[in-house]
Every structure is written in C-alpha cells, then in structure tokens.
Structure 1
Amino acid sequence: MPLFRSPLPCPGKGGMKQKKKRRKARWVEMQAEGRTPSLATLCLWNLVENMKDFWTRDYAENYMDQYSFRYIMGPFNVLPGELVEDLFSLLSSHHMVTRSALHLLLVPQVRCLSLSSCSTLITPSICNLIGIRCQALLSLDLSGAQHLSALVLSELLGQLARLHSICLVGTQCDDQVLRTISGSCPALQHLDVSCCHQLAPTSLLHLVACPSGHNVLSLRSLLALDIDFENRESHRLGVAVCLLLSMPSLEKVAIDGLGEACAIIKSQNFCELDSFTSQKGMPNLWELWHSQIQGEQAGTYERAAEKECRDEGIEGWLSENEDYYEEEDEQLNERDTDGKWNNKRRTRPHSNTLEELESDQQTEGAERASRGSLTLSLREAQGVSSSYVSALGVLCPDLCSLSLHCEEGLVGSLSAGLEQWKGQFFRLGLQFTGLLLDILPSVGVVGSTLHTLTLEGVRMDGDASFLLLLRSCPKLKTLLIHTEPPRINREEEEENNEQDVPELPRLPQLRSLSLKFLMEHQQKKPLMSWRSLKWPMMALLGSSPFLEKATMMAIPCSMDTVFQEVLDNCVGSPEDPSISPLWNLRHLSLAYCNISMETAARLVTHRNQLSTLDLSGCWNVSSENIVKLKRKATRRRYPLTIIWC
C-alpha cells in the first residue's frame, strides 16, 4: 500500500465546502469560548467531523446488525478514557450521537458515561453492551430513558459494582432497582431518582436496609423530589428521619419532608414514628439517634482527617445544574468564629498528637450527648419550608445552599433563621408569592456572599425594590426570577419621572440571567405596564460585562430603549475597561418582548459572541425581517443561529 494516494474523486464540491465551513465554525466557536484549542482538541474535532462519514458508517454497514461483539478492537479502544469521554461529549453537544457511534465508544477505559442527551438511543441491547464492556464505570447518567423497564435497569446496575454516581431522573426506577443498587453498588456516593413515579417514599428505605453482609451505603448526595409519595404523613416523615439518622455522611439532600424531619430530630420526638419503624422492619429511631451521638463521641484521627479533606475540596456535584468556580470552592470553608470553621481549621486549640485529638473529639461528643444535640453534615438542602429553618440551622451549621418555600406570614422569622449562616451562603432559592419588598431583608442577610439566587412566584412592586435586591447581592453569578407582571398600570406615573435617573448597581461577576414574566395562554403580547423597568434591565445588561447567557420573556417594557442605552453608553469592566457590555454574550432569548427590527439588527452586527438569538413571539419582527437578519448574520465573525416563530 503506497504511503501517499491521490484523492478520491469527489461527487461534488458542495460537500467539501460544507465540511470546510463546519470546521471553520467549530474553530471560531472555540475561540469565542475564550480558549485556544490544543492539539488533542483539534484531533478530537477531526474525529468528530469524520465519525459519520467514515467510522460509524463503515461499522453500521458491515458489522452492527450482522454481529454481536462483546468487545470492539479499533481506533477508539486505544485512546485514553478521558479522550473517549471528551469525544462523546463533543458528539452529544452537537447532537451527533448515533447508535453505531455508541457501539464504538463503549470501551472498557470509559469511567464517566452520560446518555441524557441521547436517551432515545438507550435500548436493552445498549444496556447489555454497557454492562459487558464498561465494568470500570464510576458515573452513569440515564436521565430521561423512560422506555427502559425496571428489570433492564436492575440487570445493568447489578453488573456495575464500582459506580460512585447514578442518575435515573424520570426513569421507571422502582423498589427492585433500589434493592439492586443497595446490594451491588457498595461504593455509591451520589444518587438522583427525582421524578421517578414508580417510587414511593418507603422505597428509599431499601438504601439503608442493606442485605446481610453489606454495610449501609455511604451516600453523600441523595435527590428524590417529585416521586410518587404516599398519602400517609407518618410514612413521609418516617422515611426522611430514617435516612438522615442512618446516613451521617449525607451532604446534599432533596427529599420531601426534610424540614419536618429536622424538627423531629431536634426535639427527639420519635414516639409517634415507632409504629412506622416497627412495621417497616427498621431499627428504633432512638437507637439510631444514640448510635450517631456515640459515633461523634468515639471519633478517630482518621475520621477527622477524612472530613478535613472533604471540606477542602467540594466536588462538582454541589453545582447540579450550574457552573461553580474555583473561588467558591476556596470560600466554602471560610467560616466565622464562635465554634465554626475559620481558615480551614478548627477554632479549638491545635492538637499535636493523636491522643489529644481523640480526647478533644470525645469531649465534644460527650458535650453534645449531654445536651441531647446532634449535628448533621448537610451542606445543601432542597424542598424545605421556611417554618423549619431554625431547626435546620441547629442540625446543619455547615449549610451553604438552601432551596425553600416561604409562607407570607413567616417572612419575618426567615431573616432570623438565615442569620446563623451569614457569611457562608452561596446559593439561595425562594418560592414566595408575596411582594419582593417583603423578602428583601431575608435576602440581604446572606446576599453579600450569594453566587446564585432564584426567586419563583414573587410579585414585583417597583424599581426601588428591584434595584435594592441587586445592590444587596454584588457577587451574583446566576440570577433567575420567575414572576407575575405588575397588576397596576404605572405608565402615566412613570412618564412624569422619566428624567429621574437612579444610581444603577453593578454586577461585575454575573454570567447567567433569566427574567421571565408569566403570560396567559390567550395573550399574544404582554402589557407594557412597567416602563421604568428599563433601569434594572440596564443595570443587569449594561454593568455585567461577563454576561454569557440572558433569557428574558414577556418583559413589560420596551427593550429597544434598554439596548439602545446599553449599546450607546459602553460601560466597561472595572477590571478591563476595554471590554464593552454584551461582549461575552453567547445566548440571548427575547421571547415575547417588545423589540424592533432595528434593535435586533444592532445586536446581530454588534461586537459580541452571540451564537443563539431567540426572537420567538416578537410581534414587531416579521418573517421578512428574519430573512434580512440571517443574511446579516452570515457576515459575522462568529456563527449565529436565529430562532423565530
């Protein structure tokens, strides 16, 4: 075979031009993301470009349906596992994963496998291949594979004994699957079974009722919201209490009844749950509580060292659905004094010997036992009612992320409840149907350190409250607000104050913004009832030079005025004045917003890195306008996709 060959005849020039255009777009996309592609990345991109035309095509035509290979010897099984995972991630992000590509990339060296983006391709035969070929898997994500039966899931998970992380969101996971996980995955640390409607609360008890000869799973993360809960209150609370007392290593929990369970553990009122534990064959809750106290009292140096290491390196699972930065990982352990973490060390005097350390731990455990108190390791809690925040604070002093539902009558006590975590909170989510002004004091207690804030259902009550909210959270990187439109029309009142320009806050670290106003189904466009909302919008868009993703829906003010002010008054970054607003913007959604063709054209031609512009429902933009915008987009340095319907 000659070393060099003349190129094969091309069926047409169009295919080669399209491939060159795609390769150039990929290169520009990587440059837009602020990273210089390495040689390994360029090689992976080359593989991605040729997967469909060469590797997967040859395998699909000649081998896939004719043979059932236990293993495939080829170019991919000689790559390091990390490169195979990166290759699969690139294919997934560009929706290029096929059944033949799955066959080729299921190699023994793969450690992490996420199939959530191609859940429709997951069949029993694929699961069989995963179980046979990928024995070294540490992380498996099968989210959205609703068509897989519980039997297939059980058989697959029974073959993967080394799994550390399992995600089964929205699958047919049932009692049998959890029994398999409990008996076959002893190293499991992270489990997500949210939205699995075949599960009842009592199903979770299989995670602590391990078969004989097995230890209880040392889970650090358990997510089980929106499963098919039973109606009996005692079952829901009993399960939550059993899980918290049986799994002392839990750091991230999202289960129904978490707040009430903490209140029961704090009061040690276990008598009402005795019938439940005896009926389910669980240990007595008093015994579990005493065993936890004794475990704290009899701590060893190795256990303390393990906890210290865990505190110094918060894993990526803490972020779930959000990017966390190195700065957060460093700050998570910087706590106030008065018995809390400070500079990653205990505030008690340093112990130089193992005997002294053990003596200190035994003394602390004895003091807690004498006070009848227990400390949980929770750092992140979801699904808690504001009425149980105080109990949660007593049991969980290390909490740094909380998602809760707040009743209007308990807003005052919420501020006092959050005070105990002041200076250590990084993420807060609130479901609240009252006025924004009412919850400002509560947000302000922890706002100085917040990196992520989510407000759902809150009613906006004016510019002053909105601007005060932004000022109280200067370090925000992610802001999500889902709210109702104003109930009164302020147009005439605001016309008189049009010249009053407030001092706008700055959010220099903001990366992601989502501001959605609810609309009725019959509405075609929102009422422009809050014209002065442009000031908070200018603060969010104009003073956040590193904003990458902005989703705005049914904004009740003209977005033309907002973008004109932002684009004309180029407010630079304090760190780098040469960076103009919207320079880093990559995804912009303006669904059902009042924006004109002229402003949309400015956004397309502006010096930014937009890759997606969503103008769905924008009534001032016609189909002819979209054609012109797409024509302008072809002359951009960065490729841009425009969505309109």
Structure 2
Amino acid sequence: MPRRKEVPPLQRLCLENVAGNMSCLWLKDYADKYLDEYHFRYIMGPFSELAGSVVQELLQLMGQSGRLTRPMLHLLLVPHLTQLSLSTCPKLVTKAITDIITVRCKNLSFLDLRGCSRIPADSLVDLAELLPGLLKLNLSGTQCNTAVLSAVGSSCRRLRELDISACARLSGSSLLHLAYDSTAGAFCCPALQVLAASDLEPSASGQDLLWALVFLLLALPSLKSLASSLVTDAVCLVHHQDFRRAQIPLHFPSLEELARRHRAPSFTGEGSAKLTLPLREMLEVSEESLPAICAACPYVARATVFLADRPGKGQSPLLSWHRLAHLTLSCQETRHLGELLPLASTQGSQLQTLSLGGFSLKDPLSFPTLLSHCPNLRELSASFCAPQLPSCHWEAGANGDGGLDLDVGLLPLRKFPRLCDFRLIFSAPDTPWPSLHAAVLSATLLPLLRNSPCLETLELIHMSFPLDGLFQKVLETPSTPLAHLRKLSLAHSQVSAQTAHLLLSSESQLGQLDLQGCPDVTRGDYDQLLRRVRRERLDLLVLWR
C-alpha cells in the first residue's frame, strides 16, 4: 500500500519551532542592542551549542522559506561550521557578512556563494586568502574576477571543486591565474578535480577562452571534470598538439612547455609522445570528434555523445572507454537501436546509467537484447520513435493484455538487482503499433518489473497497447515486486482505473501517480481515486487531466 502520511522527524519539528520564533525570541536581544554597534568575533548563545550540520539545516530552512534576515545570519555564523551555503539568501550576503565569515568560520571546508552578487571582489579575495582549508567553493554568478582566481589558486591548495560559471567579470586570460602564479613562478591548485566554467563570455575572436581551457587541461594534473561548452574543442586541440595559433602571455608557460610536462612515457609510431588527460567526464561530444576525444581521454567514466545522421564506419571509438559507467546517446536523426548491441555486449555489464534518445526499434528484439547486456544498471532512460509497420497492426489477445502470451523465456533477460529508475517514452502515440513489437515489449517489461527489487521511479509514457494485464501479472507475483516504488507515471498510455486501484492495494511506497492523458481514465475515476486516498489517509499525489 502507498505510504501513509507521516509525522515529521522530531529534529525537523524542533527546527521549525526555532525558525518560527527567531524574531520574537532567539534574536530579539541581539537585534535590539548589538546588531549595528559591534562586530563580535564570537557570539555566545544557544546556536553555539548546536552541531554545525544542524545550524546549516536551520539556515537552509529559513532561507528557502524567505524568513532569513541579516541579524539571524549574524547569530548563525558560528565558528564550528564546516559547511555553509548562502545560495538561498543571496540578497542578504554583503561585504559585512563575508567579513564575519572570514573572522568566525575558519573551519569551513565547503562554501556556497552561488548568486551572491553583492559581495565585492576584494571581499572574495579575502575569503580565499583567509580560508585556505576549503575543499569545495561555489562562486557562480558572483563578482569573481582575475584577482579572485589568483587568490584562490595561490591560497586554496587543497581545493577539489570550484564553480565559477556565469561570472561576467571573468575572461579567458583570467583562468590562467587559477592554474599558475606568475609572480611566484609556480603552478597552483594541484588537487583541483572538478571545475565548472560555463557561461563565461569569450573574447571577440572566441579563441581567448578556448586556449585558456587548453592551458587548464595541461596545467591542472588532477582535473577530472571541466564544464564548458568549448571543452570538446579544447580536448581536440590537445590531442592534435597543434598550438601554433595559441596566444599565451609571456609570463605564463607556453602550451608546448605544458605539453612536454604532461606527456606520457609511451610513444606512437610517429615518434611523438602520447598525450593523455585524466578527465573522467566528457559532455556534449559530437560523433565526428569522438575518435580524438577517446584517444586523449582514455579514462572517461561519464559521457554524453550526439550521434550524426548516418552510422559511423568501422568499430565504435566508444569501445576504447573501458571505464565507461554513465552514458548518454542522442541521435540527431533516427538511428536503429541494433547499432548499439556490439557496444552493449562489450561494456554493458559495467554501465550504471544509460540514457538513449532518438533511436528506433526496427528489430523488436533489440531492446530486450540490449537490456540483457546491462544487468547492473541503476538508471535507464530511453526515448524511442514508435515502431511503424502499416501492414501489421497491434491486436489485443484473448486477455486484452497486448500479447503477453509471448513466451518470456525466449527473451534474453536477466535480473536487475540495482535498477532504481526506469523511463520508457515513445513518440508518435497515435500511430498503431505492429503486433510483434507490442508483444515483445510487453514480454520484456514483465520480467523487468518482476526482477527489479530496488525500483523507485517508473515511467511508461505513450504506451500504445493495454497495460492492465501487464500490471496484473506483475503484482500477482509472490515475491512482492515494486515494493520500493515511489513514483509512477503512465501518462498518455492505455491503462484503466482498475490498475490504479490495484497499485493502491499493493505493497509499495508510492507517493506520486501520474495518469495524465490516459484515455481510459475518466473524471469519475479520478474523483474516486481521490476519495480513496483521503479515506485511507495515503500520502499520495494523483495527477490527471
């Protein structure tokens, strides 16, 4: 049965009570007497006795509800905070607040100032210089400039993650100061692994930022993720080692010098040293640039690839990514799913997340075959073009179950012990389906839903064959399938209110049921479902229109 309404945890109730009485009780004396008179290094009070994680949760609670004020911030910036996020109250964060942070919060390892655009750049420099123990820093949407990046690079030697996206005062040349201190003649940020530098304004020629990214790729030895729309082009330049057009200031190392420091000891047949990067993530990769990306970044574990109109010739370069665990493939034009079977047979067992878009099921067995190669998936999202064979339409079987009489044992399916999220979406919902495709897909979903004990999110959208029989067979399984299901969407699919009531009677954790656009669910059915939810006090949101 879906979850019943639960009482909030005691800690949450206590924090709600504190948040509701902050103005009239907890900060009244401080706000009346001391707020604008002194800048205290420490404030002895009730919040100094709370664990830092609880203080941060209270900050988030009041920030998200719009109740946080400047005097509240003064009281809650306690010395034992190790994590501080002020992104929920950016308008309150000024130079005065950052001065308090630098004085009181010396133990911070995580600081999130996302969107805090009222902090002057000089104060950000002070933060970086006085908080050298930072491991994660988010400065996106702030007044971060070259001086700030120079301070971060020189002072925050332990920094692992940095976000400087959407900082209008940064240019391509600013990024060089993050990786190299030209005054001291020393490299910076040796531990930086994740850098987000999206939405930065390139120079008029568009080359300034591109060559700066090349510099970062070669100068930061631990960099595993670089978020930028130009990162693919930068990696290709590194692979081809053609730096003749690069314009790097004289007081910085040249790209050729960085390449010599970065080269691996092995050599190619042409005698030039092989240059590889430690990147673990590559997003927005075109199929045309895929060979160069795979050669330069052999350790990639997460990738998003845009496939061209026509299949590539020969073996896919993706086969060289032996650590690939998270893969997104999107087609510009429709491609057959069967093209992915060689890749799935080789690397499918190591895939944890797989997202597919724009493929067609010309061969109805290609989908279950693909699944059989990926038994360790945690997330699967597939958006397919609906199968179209005008000469052969779907016809309901004797039980109206869309062909579930197909022998499931003939399909090459396994158990999916780790699968948590499964999304299957078809386009062209009004097009009749061939009977074979409907039968194979139904017979594929049956064992998948039965043998995925960790499934929490299930979306079956635009299914053009009846699903009632499928869910009836799944839920009558003795092993209690779908016991952990929390979110179910059957939008625009052929399912009736009978299945909805069956799900409400099942052993699950269902908290959201989406029946929008289902032609067999009427307004009366929806009202009846709502009455049952209220009568049984279920914590369930039912969507319908």
Q: Is the 8 A contact 2:379 2:422 kept in 1?
A: yes
SS at structure 2 position matched to 1:492 = coil
Q: Which range moved further: 107-116 or 531-540?
A: 531-540
**AA aligned opposite 2:262:** Q
Q: Is the 8 A contact 2:302 2:325 kept in 1?
A: yes
Query: Which of 241, 253, 260 is the matching residue for 1:268?
Result: 241
Which residue is 1:217 aligned to?
A: 189
Query: Which of 98, 103, 123 is the matching residue for 2:67?
Result: 98
**AA aligned opposite 2:339:** D
- The structure-2 alpha-carbon separation of the partners of 1:466 and 1:367, relative to structure 1 and needing over 3 Å to count, comes to closer
Q: Is the 8 A contact 2:393 2:432 kept in 1?
A: no
SS at structure 1 position matched to 2:183 = coil
Cα distance in 1 between the residues matched to 2:107 and 2:377: 39
Which residue is 1:39 aligned to?
A: none
Q: Is the 8 A contact 2:420 2:454 kept in 1?
A: yes
- Mapping 1:46-195, distance limit 5 Å: 46-55=13-22, 58-59=25-26, 67-68=35-36, 70=40, 72-85=43-56, 91=61, 98-99=67-68, 105-115=76-86, 118=88, 123-124=93-94, 130=101, 133-143=104-114, 145=115, 148-149=116-117, 151-152=119-120, 155-156=123-124, 158-160=126-128, 161=131, 162-168=133-139, 178-179=149-150, 181-182=152-153, 185-194=156-165
Q: Is the 8 A contact 1:452 1:477 kept in 2?
A: yes
Cα distance in 2 between the residues matched to 1:154 and 1:630: 57
SS at structure 2 position matched to 1:474 = coil
Kindly provide the CA deviation profile for residues 564-595 of structure 1, in whole angstroms up to 9, marking residues without a partner as x.
33223x263xxxxxxx2210012223444443
Cα distance in 1 between the residues matched to 2:431 and 2:261: 61
SS at structure 2 position matched to 1:438 = helix
The reply to whether residue 290 of structure 1 matches residue 260 of structure 2 is yes
Which residue is 2:325 aligned to?
A: 426
Q: Is the 8 A contact 2:172 2:210 kept in 1?
A: no
Q: Is the 8 A contact 1:244 1:250 kept in 2?
A: yes
- Mapping 1:614-633, distance limit 5 Å: 614-618=514-518, 620-622=520-522, 624-633=524-533
- 1:184 CA drift (Å): 5.3
- The structure-2 alpha-carbon separation of the partners of 1:439 and 1:369, relative to structure 1 and needing over 3 Å to count, comes to closer
Which residue is 1:585 aligned to?
A: 485
- Mapping 1:378-417, distance limit 5 Å: 378-409=279-310, 411-413=312-314, 415-417=315-317
Cα distance in 2 between the residues matched to 1:489 and 1:265: 50
Kindly provide the CA deviation profile for residues 393-442 of structure 1, in whole angstroms up to 9, marking residues without a partner as x.
444333322222232445445x44233333x3222222223322223323
Q: Which range moved further: 550-559 or 214-223?
A: 550-559
Aligned residues: 515
The reply to whether residue 26 of structure 1 matches residue 8 of structure 2 is yes
Which residue is 1:348 aligned to?
A: none
SS at structure 2 position matched to 1:271 = coil
Which residue is 2:417 aligned to?
A: 508
Cα distance in 2 between the residues matched to 1:173 and 1:486: 51
**AA aligned opposite 1:138:** S
Q: Is the 8 A contact 1:200 1:228 kept in 2?
A: yes
Kindly provide the CA deviation profile for residues 442-494 of structure 1, in whole angstroms up to 9, marking residues without a partner as x.
34332111111122343444532221221121100111234444566687156
- The structure-2 alpha-carbon separation of the partners of 1:453 and 1:281, relative to structure 1 and needing over 3 Å to count, comes to farther
SS at structure 2 position matched to 1:387 = coil
Tell me the C-alpha RMSD between the 2 structures. Answer: 4.0
5+ residue gaps, structure 1, are 1-20, 28-41, 297-363, 520-525, 573-579
Cα distance in 1 between the residues matched to 2:387 and 2:174: 44
Cα distance in 2 between the residues matched to 1:247 and 1:514: 38
Q: Is the 8 A contact 1:255 1:383 kept in 2?
A: no
Which aligned segments of 4 or more residues in structure 1 are displaced greater than 6 angstroms? 365-370
5+ residue gaps, structure 2, are none
TM-score under structure 2 length normalisation: 0.79
The reply to whether residue 239 of structure 1 matches residue 216 of structure 2 is no
Q: Is the 8 A contact 1:554 1:592 kept in 2?
A: yes
- Mapping 1:292-307, distance limit 5 Å: 292-293=262-263
**AA aligned opposite 2:430:** L
Q: Is the 8 A contact 1:167 1:193 kept in 2?
A: yes
- The structure-2 alpha-carbon separation of the partners of 1:47 and 1:606, relative to structure 1 and needing over 3 Å to count, comes to same
Cα distance in 1 between the residues matched to 2:233 and 2:297: 14
- The structure-2 alpha-carbon separation of the partners of 1:202 and 1:628, relative to structure 1 and needing over 3 Å to count, comes to farther
SS at structure 2 position matched to 1:642 = strand
The reply to whether residue 602 of structure 1 matches residue 502 of structure 2 is yes
Which residue is 1:563 aligned to?
A: 471
Cα distance in 1 between the residues matched to 2:313 and 2:274: 26
- 1:372 CA drift (Å): 1.4
Kindly provide the CA deviation profile for residues 598-627 of structure 1, in whole angstroms up to 9, marking residues without a partner as x.
222222332111223344444554555444
Q: Is the 8 A contact 2:27 2:75 kept in 1?
A: no
- 1:545 CA drift (Å): 1.5
**AA aligned opposite 1:73:** M
Q: Is the 8 A contact 1:253 1:382 kept in 2?
A: no
- The structure-2 alpha-carbon separation of the partners of 1:628 and 1:234, relative to structure 1 and needing over 3 Å to count, comes to same
Cα distance in 1 between the residues matched to 2:468 and 2:189: 56
SS at structure 2 position matched to 1:456 = strand
**Larger % of helix: which?**
1
SS at structure 2 position matched to 1:381 = strand
Which residue is 2:221 aligned to?
A: 248
SS at structure 1 position matched to 2:239 = helix
Cα distance in 1 between the residues matched to 2:153 and 2:542: 48
Cα distance in 2 between the residues matched to 1:605 and 1:64: 54
Q: Is the 8 A contact 1:490 1:529 kept in 2?
A: no
The reply to whether residue 527 of structure 1 matches residue 425 of structure 2 is no
Cα distance in 2 between the residues matched to 1:153 and 1:418: 43
Cα distance in 1 between the residues matched to 2:31 and 2:463: 51
- The structure-2 alpha-carbon separation of the partners of 1:534 and 1:131, relative to structure 1 and needing over 3 Å to count, comes to farther
Cα distance in 2 between the residues matched to 1:135 and 1:192: 21
Cα distance in 1 between the residues matched to 2:143 and 2:542: 37
Identity of aligned residues (%): 31
Cα distance in 2 between the residues matched to 1:177 and 1:487: 57
TM-score under structure 1 length normalisation: 0.68
Kindly provide the CA deviation profile for residues 286-324 of structure 1, in whole angstroms up to 9, marking residues without a partner as x.
11112334xx7xxxxxxxxxxxxxxxxxxxxxxxxxxxx
SS at structure 1 position matched to 2:328 = strand
